[in-house]
A and B are shown apart, each in its own frame.
Chain A
Amino acid sequence: MKKTYLFTQFIFLFILVMTVAFSPASTESTETVVTEHSVSTQNIDSQEKQASLAAFDEMMKVVMHKRCMNCHPSDDFPRQGEDSHLHYFGIERGKDGHGLPAAKCGTCHQTENNDYSGVPGAPHWHLAPRSMGWQGLSKAEVGAAILDKSKNGGRSLEDIIKHMTEDPLVLWVFDPGVNHEGTPREAPPISKEDYIKAVKKWAETGAHLPE
């Protein structure tokens, strides 16, 4: 009799434990928590990506501007002017992007703008390498080239951000001086501060590119 009582108690406890452990309510509750966490992570990722893409769009207002594009040709000939015409005098890239003997960039361009002649200038004035030719590319393609180490001179993301936000030749676009008629050259549509902020934000949020 005592044995039967103990067996019944054991069975009861076993069923109770199993019921609690595997009750539908318990399973549902665990799943709900996991799903909420997942959704929340996805939301953060999505928000970050959106922020990155927004920052990318902002910085590309500068990168795709003629002041940058004129010296990022996809061929060997720099452009100039507001209409991005071929550089006068048949100027060419040369071996190192600094022009040809006796017709180097430095023959006319110095390390700062010249308001007398209207010749623009900034430190190490030269053409971007052929691999960084951007003319004819979409924003996303230019962004991909910027991140591609095989094209960007082996630069890491950190190097790129430094180049884009600190190189005086890049930042010249915000102070492009006057042309040969004394008319101010068009600067990009956003300020240097907003551009630098956008570049850094783009990098911090994962340097996403539009698909």
Chain B
Amino acid sequence: MKISFKLNGKAQTVDVDGKTPLLWVIRDMLHLKGTKFGCGKAACGACTIHVNGDAVRSCSYATKFAEGKEITTIEGLSPSEDQLHPVQQAWIEEIVPQCGYCQPGFMMATAALLNKNPNPTDEDIDKSIINICRCATYYRMRKAIHRAAKLTQASLPATATDQTAEQIENTH
């Protein structure tokens, strides 16, 4: 079946069995290799992408559900390589990755968290970022998430900061 969606802002149409996991369409048909296959059971989070801004496990997401949606992968998180997303910037500053395999999924999950809760506590991070890192980089990731929150706040205009405070209030 033909399925149309936007991938990183660009219109795409693919012709696949609708039940094909979106992960394989992204990696093998559209050749974006940043999104990783980890467990294939929606458990580890290496395949995390955004669907209409929400974190989704693409290994467990049938491509037919992508029809008409906005899909974002790690390649589309920042507007360009010269203008990194605060999460990517923080990951570099805190030297988070070890082997790095799971990191795109963690960064996508973190970006989704910061969209909903721009100033998460350690507890918020522990509860919402449930991906798995076999190198156990969790400690550095937590620091990077706080750093990303600060970078995000610094990049926002004053009115947006007020809205952010309201968002935090609503999240808790």
**Interface positions of A (Cβ within 8 A of B):** 88-92, 100-104, 106-108, 110-112, 114-119, 180
Contact = CB atoms under 8 A, between A and B. Distances in A.
7 closest A-B pairs by beta carbon, nearest first, are A101-B116, A117-B60, A102-B113, A108-B42, A89-B130, A102-B128, A102-B112
B60 A114 contact: yes
Nearest to B60: A117
Given A114-B60, A119-B60, A103 B40 contact: no
A14 to B, nearest CB: 90
A117 B41 contact: yes
Contact of B127 (A100, A115, A116): A100
Given A101-B124, A107-B54, A116-B59, 12 more contacts: A89-B130, A100-B124, A100-B128, A102-B55, A102-B109, A102-B129, A103-B129, A108-B57, A110-B61, A110-B65, A119-B57, A180-B43
B128 A117 contact: no
Interface centre among B43, B110, B129 (most CB of A within 10 A): B43
B96 interface: no
11 contacts: A89-B43, A90-B126, A90-B127, A100-B128, A101-B128, A102-B55, A102-B129, A108-B60, A116-B21, A117-B41, A119-B57
Contacts of A103: 55, 127-130
B117 interface: yes
B62 interface: yes
A97 to B, nearest CB: 15
Nearest to B108: A102
Contact of A116 (B40, B54, B65, B171): B40
Nearest to A117: B60
Interface string B101-113: 0000000011011
A114 to B, nearest CB: 5
A109 B106 CA distance: 19
Interface string B34-69: 000000111100001000001111011110010000
Nearest to B51: A106
A106 B54 contact: yes
A101 to B, nearest CB: 3
Given A100-B127, A101-B113, A103-B130, A116 B56 contact: no
A191 to B, nearest CB: 26
Interface string B144-161: 000000000000000000
Contacts of B62: 110, 112, 114
Contacts of B61: 110, 114
Nearest to A181: B41
A113 B6 CA distance: 24
B117 A101 contact: yes
B19 interface: yes
Interface centre among A107, A115, A118 (most CB of B within 10 A): A107
Interface in B91-147: 109-110, 112-113, 115-117, 124, 126-130
B128 A111 contact: no
Nearest to A89: B130
